[in-house]
Chain A
């Protein structure tokens, strides 16, 4: 049913009894045109755009747990397109544009809040690098502004300006960046896809991929074999495992990244702020909790939990940046599994196996990419060729050297 102020009021009067399921609890059918493995943000968005943009609706999204159980529900909810590399800038800007119209498109309030993303810099060298990035953004028609210390002080007076080990010299601001209510993204896309006929099948784990004569035939699941014309892999955190079922070896390591939320407090931080002298970023949710995170733990892990030294390092950055937070309490910490790719950029495209499409390697940038990832992946699946936006994110770029290494860190995943 359509959501509106009218439906909310009328259901209020009827004791909320008339609401129906946001998506059907579908049973798997024997055959689909497209099977999407992974019911996270990217998989559900892919299904939605396949149905909406390409008229393909005989689709199943297979999720081994409940939808949104992966990183779409365990991230720090930031959206932005403040990238240096042209491929990234174009792609993430398209994502941001899709975010801007997403609620009306989905008829679901995912609370896209364009409150601004500010990257602080602390040295001349960092300023120059940010200027290069900001100018690249401006050349791509992306909003960006370079603030000096006084302007940052005016915006965020509670930062430590006067006794800082790494003094704040200014910041690169993207006003259109912001946050989104993360879980709602999965639910909104699920509802949108369901309304277009997509089967969303939870508790359905893919255990094998059947390949016949070099072409994909379908997937084995804990609920039986499902034949499929095309199989699209969207299973960040387990990409290597699933790809192995198709005989693929990926340029990916699985790592854990932690995030934290504090107790709810009245509004304090009204934009997304990143600290340039440590890996740290912070925003405040609409419930009032400060949401923040730092670097990945730094070693291969499939355990959704983090280590204590990283916790401490993140809190040290928090206190270095905002010394007023000392008495605020951390309420929860959690770890998400990251596909860390070898150049820090994702892989969206074809694979050597005909009919298998890969969407992986998002490092910790996957959430903000959700709409564009789904949109581009849907295009790639529907037309069997990448869209120009995702063409640079090909699997074989490491062989050709066309790496998309935003940080210039080289082929070491834990440095990206």
Chain B
């Protein structure tokens, strides 16, 4: 698999490190049900068999964290953006 880093160009998967589901967002620690939300945030996953939004880091490159949209059945990559450029909540 090869991932197109928005900063460095297309690179082999061996340069990247994987983190997992990028659709989950760290909850408000001061919310009334914070504990329950954090348990879900850290543990529960949709784990779809299809298009998956996920975090990767260009670890052995520019070290940018990326949000990659990828089909986990075919490994076809639909889009890559820098995580820090994601539209805020």
Contact = CB atoms under 8 A, between A and B. Distances in A.
Q: Do A and B come from one complex?
A: yes
Q: Is the interface of B mostly helix, strand, loop or mixed?
A: mixed
Contact of B39 (A252, A253, A399): A399
Nearest to A248: B44
Interface residues of B, number: 26
B47 A253 contact: yes
Given A300-B20, A303-B74, A307-B13, A238 B54 contact: no
Interface string A338-355: 000010000000000000
A412 B43 contact: no
A264 interface: no
A253 B19 CA distance: 11
A218 B39 CA distance: 30
Interface in A266-322: 298-303, 307, 309
A241 B1 CA distance: 24
B57 to A, nearest CB: 12
Given A398-B39, A413-B20, A253 B75 contact: no
Contacts of B54: 299-300
Contact of A250 (B21, B44, B56, B73): B44
Contacts of A253: 20-21, 45, 47
A398 B46 contact: no
Contacts of B62: none
B78 interface: no
Interface in B1-55: 1, 12-14, 17-21, 36, 39, 42-49, 52, 54
Contacts of B56: 299
Given A241-B49, A303-B75, A398 B18 contact: no
Interface in A144-185: none
A81 interface: no
Given A300-B54, A309-B14, A251 B45 contact: yes
12 contacts: A240-B47, A249-B45, A250-B44, A253-B20, A253-B45, A253-B47, A254-B49, A303-B72, A307-B13, A309-B12, A398-B39, A398-B42
9 nearest CB pairs, A to B? A240-B47, A309-B14, A251-B43, A299-B18, A398-B43, A302-B49, A342-B43, A249-B44, A411-B42
